[in-house]
Amino acid sequence: MSQPNNISGYTIARNVVKFKYPIRECLSTLRPICDDVVLAYDPYTDDGTDEAVKSLAEDLDLTLFETRWNMDNIDKGLELGVQTDIAMRQCKNQWRLYLQLDEAFHEDDVDLIKDLPRQAQEVGACGADFQRIYFYKDLHTIRRDWCAQITRLTYGDTHTYSTGDGMSCVPTAPASEKHLPNNLWMFHYSRIGDPELISQRVRNMDTFYHEDGTLISKEDLPDYDFVCREFDNYAKENGPKEVSPQLVPYHGTHPLPFAELYQEFD
C-alpha cells in the first residue's frame, strides 16, 4: 500500500549490455532511497539486456516492466521522454524519483532525499529539483556549463517528460509549477570511462535525434576526445562548435559504486 511520503524510483533501459551502461551501480544508489524501484526496459534487443535486467531485478528487488521502444521516433529525442513517462506510470507511490543509468545519488544523502516529500508537502510543492553535476574525463573534474538544476522528484501525474528527451520534466498544469529547491547533488558520469565506449554511446544517443545515415558510420567513429564543445553528436553536417573550457576541479567524494567503478580515472 502506498504511504504518503514514500518514494518510488524508476528508470528506463535499452541495449544496456551492448553499451555497458553501469545499471547495477546506478540502481544500487537509488534502491536505498525508494520503497520500490521500477525498471522499464525494451526486451526486443539482441544484446542480452532481457537476461541482464531479470538477474539484476532479483538481486535488487526491482519491479520490471516491458515496453517496446519506437526507434522511428527521432524527433528531438522525444522517444526517451515517452519511455520515461511510461516507467513513471508504473510506480506505486505518489512521490516518484527518476535516475538515468549513468547517474547516481551519494549514500550520504539518502536520508536527506527521503525527507524531500515531507518538506515539499509542507510548502505545497509538487516537485523537487536537484543539482545535476556533470563529471568530465575523470572523477576530479566537473564540466560547469553542462551542470544544471533539473526536476526529478515529482508527485503523481503532475509532471511529464514526454515534451523533451527525458533529462528533466515539466509541469502538466500551472498548479504544479511550485518546486522545492535544494542543493542536493545528482552525480552524472556519462563522460567518464573508455573513450571508445563513450563515442559508441554518444552515437547511439544520436539515433534518437538524427537519421542513422546522417551520422558518422560506426566504422569511422573516432574515440571520444574530450574537447569541450557546445554539445556532442556525430552528425556529418553542422557539427557542434568548440567552446571555452568550463572545467573546474572537484576534491570531494563520489557515490561508492562509481568511485569503485571508475577508480582508474581517479
Domains of the chain, first to last: 7-133+149-191 (3.90.550.10), 192-262 (no CATH)
Q: How does strand 148-155 pair with strand 95-98?
A: antiparallel
For residue 218 the three cell numbers come to 560506426
Separation in Å, CA 171 to CA 86, 124, 153, 188: 16, 14, 12, 23
pLDDT in tens, 73-118: 888 889 999 999 999 999 999 999 999 999 999 999 999 999 999 9
The pLDDT confidence band at residue 1, using thresholds 50, 70 and 90, is very low
3-state secondary structure of 143: strand
pLDDT of residue 3: 64
pLDDT in tens, 217-265: 999 999 999 999 999 989 888 788 999 989 999 999 999 999 999 999 8
pLDDT in tens, 17-58: 999 999 999 999 999 999 999 999 999 999 999 999 999 999
pLDDT in tens, 135-172: 999 999 999 999 999 999 999 999 999 988 988 999 99
> Left if phi > 0, otherwise alpha if psi is -120 to 50, otherwise beta: which for 226?
left
User: SS3 for 180-227, per residue?
Assistant: ECCCCEEEEEEECCCHHHHHHHHHHHHCCCCCHHHECCCCCCCCCCCC
- Reference 207, options 100, 98, 79, 102; nearest CA is 79
- Angle formed at CA 143 by CA 139 and CA 148, multiple of 5 degrees: 115
24's enclosing H/E stretch is helix 23-30
